[in-house]
Amino acid sequence: GDSVTQMEGPVTLSEEAFLTINCTYTATGYPSLFWYVQYPGEGLQLLLKATKADDKGSNKGFEATYRKETTSFHLEKGSVQVSDSAVYFCALSNTGGFKTIFGAGTRLFVKA
Amino acid sequence: EAGVTQFPSHSVIEKGQTVTLRCDPISGHDNLYWYRRVMGKEIKFLLHFVKESKQDESGMPNNRFLAERTGGTYSTLKVQPAELEDSGVYFCASSQGARGNTIYFGEGSWLTVV
């Protein structure tokens, strides 16, 4: 069945460092891909999404490109801030958004 | 506009007891979903309502879990009797009718079974 694998955390970075969180997926067909973020004490929020190959999703300085040839959707940010500390979830939807499959989540700590 | 709200935010119960979690979706959202994250693992789909009907309940782990959505508005998820392995975070989410629309999640209900 469909699945998502993302790098284990926690990831600890200093402020202004470059961030990469790896995500790969297994799916039939052409899934939509997502990154969700959960800040401390809050619910899941959609961070960005891409619906077809070579699409780049971006939001709040974060980017991820849908790579069908490598079945990947890595999350990147050029300069992280303390406020980016959160848990990040990679996810896919292969049914048009009605059922979302998540990775295990990667906790990010950013130190001042 | 209010987001998806869940109650209670935290619950600690003893093994064998019953717990009922409630979710109020965003007004006008026909689709309502339940997910859970157990022991820091991946967030897993439990079920999907379209209005008051269960569209997909393939993720429900066993018959100790019962979800309802009376009148197509709020939903409840009852765990009876609760087991230790049920501990985790239960997320509710909702979306508007069409496929591909953004899914909005609540803050989650943290359940601890002791």
List the beta bridge partners of residue B32: B49, B94
Interface contact A20, partner B, CB < 8 A = no
Average pLDDT rounded to a whole number, residues B42-61: 93
- Selected residue with higher pLDDT from A2 and B11: B11
- Selected residue with higher pLDDT from B8 and A42: B8
Average pLDDT rounded to a whole number, residues B20-43: 92
Interface contact B60, partner A, CB < 8 A = no
- Taking all residues of chain B, what is their mean pLDDT, rounded to a whole number? 92
Average pLDDT rounded to a whole number, residues B45-57: 93
Confidence of residue B79 (pLDDT cuts 50, 70, 90): very high
Query: Which of B35, B99, B104 has the CB atom closest to A98's CB atom?
Result: B99
Confidence of residue B98 (pLDDT cuts 50, 70, 90): low
- The pLDDT of residue B14: 97
Task: Answer whether B43 sits within 8 Å of A102, measured CB to CB.
Answer: yes
What span, in angstroms and rounded, lies between the C-alpha atoms of A84 and A77? 10
Determine if the peptide bond prior to B8 is cis (ω within 30°). Answer: yes
Interface contact A109, partner B, CB < 8 A = no
Query: A3: nearest CA in chain B?
Result: B42
Chain B residues in contact with A52 (beta carbon < 8 A)? none
A19 within 8 A of A7, measured Cβ to Cβ: no
Task: Answer whether B45 sits within 8 Å of A100, measured CB to CB.
Answer: yes
Determine if the peptide bond prior to B81 is cis (ω within 30°). Answer: yes
Interface contact A57, partner B, CB < 8 A = no
Query: B55: nearest CA in chain A?
Result: A98
Helix (H) or strand (E) segment spanning residue B33: strand B31-37
Average pLDDT rounded to a whole number, residues B16-45: 93
Average pLDDT rounded to a whole number, residues A22-47: 91
pLDDT, tens digit, 9 for 90 and up, residues A75-104: 999 999 999 999 999 999 886 557 889 999
The answer to whether residue A66 scores a pLDDT higher than 90 is yes
Residue carrying the six token digits 């897993």: B44
Average pLDDT rounded to a whole number, residues A5-26: 95
* Cα–Cα nearest to A88, from A30, A34, A32: A34
- The pLDDT of residue A76: 98
Confidence of residue A10 (pLDDT cuts 50, 70, 90): very high
Confidence of residue B109 (pLDDT cuts 50, 70, 90): very high
Contacts A–B by Cβ distance under 8 A: 59
Interface contact A103, partner B, CB < 8 A = yes
- The pLDDT of residue A81: 97
Chain A residues in contact with B105 (beta carbon < 8 A)? 36, 43-45
